Amino acid sequence: MTILDGKALSNKIKEEIKFEVEELQKEKGITPGLAVVLVGADPASAAYVNMKSKACKQAGIYSIVHEMPETISQDKILEILAMMNKNPNIDGILVQLPLPKHVDTTAILEAITPEKDVDGFHAYNTGRMTLGLDSFTPATPYGVMRLLEEYNIDPKGKNVCVIGASNIVGKPMGTLLLNANATVTTCHIHTKDLKEHTKNADIICVGVGKVNLITEDMVKDGAVVVDIGINRLDNGKLVGDVDFENVSKKCKYISPVPGGVGPMTIAMLLVNTIKAARLREERERKLND
């Protein structure tokens, strides 16, 4: 059994990004910029935003966090996003989810200009990704694909079971795997017999937020298991959706929690931010030609 070490790979990617940032600053006079919108005081969301800000600082990316009270109106959020869309120093914009119930998440995500949608949640980028065209790809599924690539795990021709059908993880995960020529089955809360789908899968990707959802009897020998879930136990320990101790005995590859997909999510967000900065430079150059 081999551990899919997302922490080591993310550190490698961050070093590459740091070099790219220095190159952009030296050759183009550009410092990539990322703006994060945080609404409310959810501890988990605040922790994620803090990790993203720290990663940006380490890579040399300009980062700003707009903290807003949970009671802020939707119109005010849209107003701030419009301001960010026009700010030439901001290459990427992301809104930390979930948002308060009184806010229409779709309307907020659609208000971000597609060229700055480094989270890859805008319908424009979602559509291009589905068609296999160049786009901003949601960071978590993007990170999973990069992790598989690092360990020479080719999804082509493999039976893959994706558990979870969210717009943020499950659906784009299935799309990327399908684009990589895998045979994809997507399972969700209404799936009648989950084990029937997982036990024959060559690769299992799970991210629903349920402790020990995937057990040893649900996984075939030699499978690849990617645990995207994150749960905090009563004792404070972080675990995924997979019974790691027992499932790992049957796997060829498995990602741990923490230290697997989590670090990759932040790394790929930085990759998207650099991409946005390079695209900005290209647009500006064409305007000046």
Is 165 known to sit in a ligand binding site? yes
List the chain domain ranges. 28-114, 138-261
pLDDT value of position 47: 86
Cβ neighbours around 157 below 10 Å, total: 10
Distance CA 252, CA 234 (A): 30
Of the residues 91, 119, 202, 243, only one is catalytic, namely: 119
Rg (CA), the chain: 19
pLDDT value of position 236: 87
Distance CA 256, CA 132 (A): 29
Distance CA 227, CA 240 (A): 6
pLDDT value of position 102: 95
Distance CA 157, CA 262 (A): 27
Fold: same for 28-114 and 138-261: yes
119 is catalytic: yes
pLDDT value of position 69: 95
74 is catalytic: no
Distance CA 109, CA 114 (A): 10
* CA-closest candidate to residue 237, choices 219, 218, 212, 215: 212
Q: Is the dihedral of CA 64, 113, 165, 177 positive or negative?
A: negative
Of the residues 5, 14, 91, 96, only one is catalytic, namely: 96
Of the residues 5, 14, 52, 171, only one is catalytic, namely: 52
pLDDT value of position 174: 98
18 is catalytic: no
DSSP state of 219: S
Is 164 known to sit in a ligand binding site? yes
Distance CA 134, CA 278 (A): 14
Q: Per the CATH hierarchy, to which homologous superfamily does domain 28-114 belong?
A: Leucine Dehydrogenase, chain A, domain 1 (3.40.50.10860)
pLDDT value of position 187: 97
Topology of domain 138-261 in CATH is Rossmann fold (3.40.50)
pTM metric for this prediction: 0.94
pLDDT value of position 45: 87
Q: Kindly state the helix (H) or strand (E) to which residue 205 belongs, with its residue range.
A: strand 203-206
**In order along the chain (289 residues), what is the average pLDDT of each group of 10 residues?**
97 96 92 95 86 93 94 96 95 94 96 97 97 96 98 98 96 98 97 96 97 97 97 91 96 96 96 94 82
Is 174 known to sit in a ligand binding site? no
- Give CA angle at 170 (78, 34), nearest 5°: 40
Is 230 known to sit in a ligand binding site? yes
Is 276 known to sit in a ligand binding site? no
pLDDT value of position 286: 83
User: Using an 8 Å Cβ cutoff, are 202 and 224 in contact?
Assistant: yes
Q: How far is CA 235 from the centre of its chain?
A: 27
pLDDT value of position 72: 96
